[in-house]
A and B are shown apart, each in its own frame.
Chain A
């Protein structure tokens, strides 16, 4: 009996492991920045180059920090969702305009809508590196103490927004007891 059960057990284990492996996306690299404070930065704003958006602006309230660029195709995909989100006033969204020309970025915001309270203009992509950005768009959920609580890689969709991002934002917005 055992001589049939052991191979069967091995086989089932293998199938389970392979099934789990198939379901994982190798493109999603877990960020070591989760539960760490946001990296310090100070960059000119896209729409107002004389003003500075810095890491301290992201503290004090729960916010989304969305990395975007006018050259990024998937950003176009998620953009309407962000616009709708900002219209509904449910959460503050800051942007990091990654390796983009200012005039392109402004044109994009003017034609597609500007969901951001402000966007930092990261022309060289240095701040992007500090945030561990490797595939635009990326979206960070930042709590009121400026701690990164979640990172979404790739375009946000309705499902990610409803099932993961907004519940987390609501949870973080709860006053501490």
Chain B
């Protein structure tokens, strides 16, 4: 009996929290603003569920931050300012696309550098192989080649 009560209360709490999570969709009069709002949310990371964007996340904090972004878009702030607001509080971590600056050089250019190193290694490897491979024939082999070529020429009359 006690267990049943526990289970019902658990289910009830799940339903309640689910209904809390479903927040009101933001209303915009200007479709351009709505598009900006959507684009911004997709670019910003939720700090609570770190692999979700602000648009996807149902975390409490994500809702509050959506509200903030909404308010700023409504009052006509530009994207730069809105992103700056969040970065000032939560750091570069909120950006899905990290900014290009000295600490992120390795991140941005590392793959290209690795590719170049790889290309260099491959080229060197191939060159070295080419140089090592013995392509010359012994005198005996050379004679055989000539003989074979001559006989094939005489047989079908083609070079």
Contacts and interface: CB of A to CB of B under 8 A. Distances in A.
A29 interface: yes
B96 interface: no
Interface string A75-117: 0000000000000000000000001000000000000000000
A132 B64 contact: no
B131 interface: no
A32 B89 contact: yes
Interface string A1-44: 00000000000000000000000001101111100000000000
A131 interface: yes
A31 B68 contact: no
A130 interface: yes
Interface residues of A, number: 17
B93 interface: yes
A33 B112 CA distance: 33
Interface size class of B (residues with CB under 8 A): 10 to 19
Most chain B CB atoms below 10 A, which of A33, A131, A132:
A132
Given A29-B91, A31-B91, A129 B68 contact: yes
Contacts of A154: none
Interface in B27-56: 47-48, 50
Contacts of A131: 89
Contacts of A33: 89
A14 B93 CA distance: 25
A32 B48 contact: no
A134 B83 CA distance: 17
